[in-house]
Amino acid sequence: MPTQGAYNASKFAVRGYTEALRMELELEGVTVSATCVHPGGVATNIATAARIDDNARLLTGQDAEAHRRQANRLIDATRPDDAARQILAGVQRNARRVLIGSDARRVDFISRLMGAAYQFYVLRFHRKMQKRSAGKSHAVRSAQAAASTPRDIA
């Protein structure tokens, strides 16, 4: 996702490490394995607790609090206890990958189907969210301006 470069890089690093580790364990013939978890939106406080640089406004058109609220709406897809059950079930069946939530399955399907072209859809979604946010910000500023404007008394 745009504006999430460090987060995306760390997720890709964990995926690469976990997949390499699993293959190394298989080559050694040990009875221990590794499962790579691909979580979608899990309703935790990760967005609320996130540090958001003020410069994010330049990319998103939102202040930090608006960005947190939007992120919380987007990640509120899977309850943490459901995610834990899905992860445990994947580990028990020795799955190479476990996709958590319908949103993770959708992203996985689209990226496999479209390859790198999926990025155009991510950008489209991001721009749509920017416009929606900008429209709300404009409406709020307009309402604030109207409330602070003296009215003629007739």
Strands 97-100 and 36-39: parallel
Whether 7 is catalytic: yes
Concatenated DSSP letters of 75-116 = HTTB-HHHHHHHHHHHHHTT-SEEEESHHHHHHHHHHHHHGG
Question: How many angstroms separate the CA atoms of 72 and 126, rounded?
Answer: 15
Question: How many angstroms separate the CA atoms of 52 and 20, rounded?
Answer: 32
Catalytic residue selected from 7, 17, 118, 121: 7
Which among 2, 72, 89 has a CA at the least distance from the CA of 37?
A: 89
Question: Annotated active-site positions, please?
Answer: 7
